[in-house]
Structure 1
Amino acid sequence: MIRSRAHRRFYGDLRFVVGVLLVIASVAGVWLLVASSRQTSPVLQATRTVLPGETISSAELQVVDVGLGPVAGEYLAPQSLEPGAVAVRTLSAGEIVPLTAVGDADELRSTSVVIASSAIPADVKTGAAVELWHAPPLDDGRAFEKPRILIADAVVADVAEEAGMLAGGRTDVEVIVDRADVADVLAAITGGDAISLVPTGAGS
Structure 2
Amino acid sequence: MTTHTRVRRTPWGDARFYIGIALVALSILGVWLIVNASRSTVPVLRADRTITQGEALSSSDFSVVDVSLGAASEGYLSPQDLAAGQIATRSMAEGELLSSAAVGDAADARTTTLVVESSVGLPAGIEPGTVVELWQAPPLDEGFDEPRILVADVTVASLVKTESMMAQDHPAVELVIDRSDVSDVLSAITGGAALSVVPMGSR
Shorter chain as denominator, the TM-score bin is: 0.7 to 0.9
Return closer, same or farther for 1:30/1:153 CA change in 2, 3 Å cut-off: farther
Match in the other structure for 1:120? 122
* Structure 1 unaligned regions, length at least 5: 1-16
Instruction: Map 1:18-167 onto structure 2 (within 5 A).
Output: 30-117=31-118, 118-137=120-139, 139-145=140-146, 147-160=147-160, 162-167=162-167
The TM-score normalised by the length of structure 2 is: 0.77
Return closer, same or farther for 1:197/1:165 CA change in 2, 3 Å cut-off: closer
| One-letter amino acid matched to 2:78 | A
* Structure 2 unaligned regions, length at least 5: 1-17
Q: Give the secondary-structure state (helix, strand or coil) at the position aligned to 1:36.
A: helix
Match in the other structure for 1:182? 182
Q: Identity across aligned pairs (percent)?
A: 48
How many angstroms apart in 2 are the aligned matches of 1:124 and 1:133? 15
Decide whether the 8 Å contact of 1:43 with 1:66 is kept in 2: yes
How many angstroms apart in 2 are the aligned matches of 1:194 and 1:21? 77
Decide whether the 8 Å contact of 1:51 with 1:90 is kept in 2: yes
Rg larger in structure: 2
Return closer, same or farther for 1:167/1:188 CA change in 2, 3 Å cut-off: same
Q: Give the secondary-structure state (helix, strand or coil) at the position aligned to 1:106.
A: helix
Match in the other structure for 2:5? none
Return closer, same or farther for 1:68/1:122 CA change in 2, 3 Å cut-off: same
Cα offsets for 1:142-183 (capped at 9, x unmatched) = 2421x3322222111221355444446110111111111101
How many angstroms apart in 2 are the aligned matches of 1:162 and 1:27? 66
Tell me the matched-pair count.
187
* Deviation, structure 1 residue 19: 9.6
Q: Which has the higher mean CA deviation after the structures are superposed, 64-73 or 46-55?
A: 46-55
| One-letter amino acid matched to 1:188 | A
The TM-score normalised by the length of structure 1 is: 0.77
Q: Give the secondary-structure state (helix, strand or coil) at the position aligned to 1:86.
A: strand
Q: Give the secondary-structure state (helix, strand or coil) at the position aligned to 1:176.
A: strand
Q: Which has the higher mean CA deviation after the structures are superposed, 42-51 or 52-61?
A: 52-61
* Deviation, structure 1 residue 96: 0.6
Q: Give the secondary-structure state (helix, strand or coil) at the position aligned to 1:151.
A: strand
Match in the other structure for 1:194? 194
